[in-house]
Chains A and B, each alone.
Chain A
Amino acid sequence: GQNIDQPTEMTATEGAIVQINCTYQTSGFNGLFWYQQHAGEAPTFLSYNVLDGLEEKGRFSSFLSRSKGYSYLLLKELQMKDSASYLCAVKRRSDSWGKFQFGAGTQVVVTP
């Protein structure tokens, strides 16, 4: 089995930075994904990490430490439209591609 833990909710002000942590315990780790999901909508892909280190993509960055079973998603220069749930998802080597295990999501609330 595996556990994927992330905080339930985080609040930050517009223009600020927020870091969403995700810890996981799994056998045969083979990649970690971050998705953004607005209420009532389907998730959209943000980032993918399979090797240790930081991946930067515009205002969003994602970090992975395989030895620690830890990842974070960093959102910079927060905008109101960034208010959404952010899902951490893990792929195991034994699973076919696309069969991911999702965390419960972190609801980010951006305030003016």
Chain B
Amino acid sequence: GAVVSQHPSRVICKSGTSVKIECRSLDFQATTMFWYRQFPKQSLMLMATSNEGSKATYEQGVEKDKFLINHASLTLSTLTVTSAHPEDSSFYICSARGRRETTTGELFFGEGSRLTVL
């Protein structure tokens, strides 16, 4: 199956700093990538949809100035958490889809990035 890689897997930062998380599709061109966050024992919450070469579409309640998303190429999308605060500590997961739908339509997820803001 398709492979999506996410980096870093864990990051600890001080409050007020910015953190960048990368999501790469390794063996296919990802026209669309999705960014989720997940708090412990809670569901995956979609934050934004990122299309290559265009601005990301954010879900209601997600601050676009705080969570900067860039999808500059067909294999890379980045999420930057700006001026991070402890309440931003969470598990961030990306997923990707290619030009053609798979026969079953599943999403391919990255390994996730656990952000801890001190």
A80-100 residues with Cβ-Cβ distance < 8 A to B are 87, 91, 96-100
Closest to B44 in A: A102
| B112:A31 contact, CB within 8 angstroms | no
Shortest C-beta distance, B25 to chain A (Å), equals: 12
> Number of residues in B with C-beta < 8 Å to the partner?
28
Determine whether A112 belongs to the interface, using a CB cutoff of 8 Å to chain B. no
| B104:A45 contact, CB within 8 angstroms | yes
Shortest C-beta distance, B19 to chain A (Å), equals: 18
Also in contact, A102 and B93, with CB within 8 A (given A42-B110, A97-B101): no
Closest to A45 in B: B106
Closest to A44 in B: B109
B30-71 residues with Cβ-Cβ distance < 8 A to A are 32, 34, 36, 41-46, 49
CA distance A8 to B43 in the complex (A): 11
| B105:A104 contact, CB within 8 angstroms | no
CA distance A41 to B91 in the complex (A): 9
